[in-house]
Amino acid sequence: MNTRNEQLFERAQRRIPAGVNSPVRAFGAVGGTPPFFERASGAHLWDADGRRYIDYVGSWGPMVAGHTHPAVVEAVQAAASRALSFGAPTEAEVELAETLCRLVPSIEMLRLVSSGTEATMTAIRLARGFTGRSLIVKFEGCYHGHADSLLVKAGSGALTFGNPSSAGVPPEVAGHTLVLSYNDLSQVENLFKEKGNQIACVIVEPVAGNMNLVLPAPGFLEELREQCTRHGAVLLFDEVMTGFRVALGGAQARYGIRPDLTTLGKVIGGGLPVGAVGGRREIMEKIAPLGPVYQAGTLSGNPVAVAAGLATLKLVQEKDFQSKIEATTRSLIEGLMKEANSAGVTFSAQSIGSMFGLYFRASPPTSFAEVMECDKERFNKFFHAMLVLGVYLAPSAYEAGFVSAAHGVVEIEKTLAAARETFRGL
């Protein structure tokens, strides 16, 4: 007899490619049947077979306050009963813009969009329109959504003109994207020496969370700031993931770097689709209809989504919210390292804010190449054993994990007990 999850997965695959609406959800990396979820509350998820899990995915980042937080649900219901969409301005959008500008001071003006992908795509166009240059620089292993010019990884080694890493991206488009190694200061310096006056922008995850978790090396973000300033390029921090996770003011607040443009998403929608691109006024004033850089969206600033974002941002500003969630996350990774150590498993872990990385490797990686050295087979075993014990981790060795404010001592202890059993069986 198939479980209901299995039945649903079979049915899904007949009409939806791989049965999912975003690729990692298909469990391709780890194998097996993904749970189909029915409801969530606080730190927990329930699947179609009625099984309960402690959630460390948090919808890939947005659910920082925990699932179905009463204040957020109430705000959404109230907004929905007033209107689902106007396609016209509302006061709540202004309030969200004001809140984001206050919390992230490098943002002087911003525009709301409906996803992180839209935010980065718009930010790149703005940087090009502002500078009149075409080249963009990104780093291997950083993910910035699925716009054509950003779906480019690196060939190995030093700076290369990018090859498309997705079919369907014309080489002419990918050719304007230069890919460097994350944390490699000398590559940055050399590239700017050679092509500095052609570079429109450098886009970077200031803490990389899409190749597992990789922290910026001392001086890396500073070097980017310095080179961009010197050569008139736009420094674009993609804080879609790190915003309100690494610190209340994002990674830029934690590391004390002021980018020219910032993209936000995930947490600012509280689980509904909201993204934002913002930054220096003189750049933002280039956007239509004030300026020549076109951008638009039928559902941009949607009142229900904005209500969820505002309610979530109210929660993250509460006293001790950040310090508590950061301490919970640290207790999780310290506990995991202890359990792995006593089971004799080669393992390391680290956290920043409410993001964490788990590595089947002796020490945390500092580059994409080092991330690739992690023992993927061991991760897959670990993942499935934890899943069976009711702990839902991201189904890939290359994703960061997320803790919410609803995770407490009880959830962490249950997770560590599951990890103890799992590490012993690895």
Ligand X SMILES: *Cc1c(COP(=O)(O)O)cnc(C)c1O
Name the residue nearer to ligand X (CB basis): 115 or 322: 115
- Check if the beta carbon of residue 125 is closer than 8 Å to that of residue 117: no
For β-strands 37-41 and 44-47, DSSP reports them as antiparallel
- Check if the beta carbon of residue 62 is closer than 8 Å to that of residue 267: yes
Name the residue nearer to ligand X (CB basis): 147 or 293: 147
Nearest residue to 390 via CA among 360, 357, 416, 355: 416
> Is 238 considered catalytic here?
yes
Name the residue nearer to ligand X (CB basis): 244 or 347: 244
Task: Report helix angle 303-316 to 70-82, nearest 10.
Answer: 160
Report the nearest approach of ligand X to the CB of residue 116 (Å). 2
- Which helix (DSSP H) or strand (DSSP E) does residue 39 occupy? strand 37-41
Name the residue nearer to ligand X (CB basis): 141 or 209: 209
Among 238, 260, 392, 398, the one annotated catalytic: 238
CB-based closest residue to ligand X: 116
Name the residue nearer to ligand X (CB basis): 211 or 418: 211
Report the nearest approach of ligand X to the CB of residue 193 (Å). 28
For β-strands 160-161 and 401-402, DSSP reports them as unpaired
Among 56, 143, 182, 359, the one annotated catalytic: 143
> Is 359 considered catalytic here?
no
Q: Report how far Cα 296 is from the mean position of its chain's Cα atoms.
A: 23
> How many other C-beta atoms lie within 10 A of the C-beta of residue 5?
18
Cα distance between residue 179 and residue 181, in whole Å: 7
Cα-Cα-Cα-Cα dihedral of 351, 271, 148, 229, to 10°? Answer: -50
Report the nearest approach of ligand X to the CB of residue 23 (Å). 11
For β-strands 44-47 and 52-55, DSSP reports them as antiparallel
Nearest residue to 398 via CA among 346, 351, 357: 357
Q: Which two tokens stand for residue 171?
A: 């080489």
> Is 148 considered catalytic here?
no
Nearest residue to 426 via CA among 389, 381, 396: 381
Binding site for ligand X (CB under 6 A): 115-117, 120, 143-145, 205, 209-210, 238, 240-241, 265, 275
Among 47, 266, 392, 398, the one annotated catalytic: 266
Q: Which two tokens stand for residue 168?
A: 């369907």
Name the residue nearer to ligand X (CB basis): 16 or 83: 16
Report the nearest approach of ligand X to the CB of residue 86 (Å). 22
| Catalytic site positions | 143, 238, 266
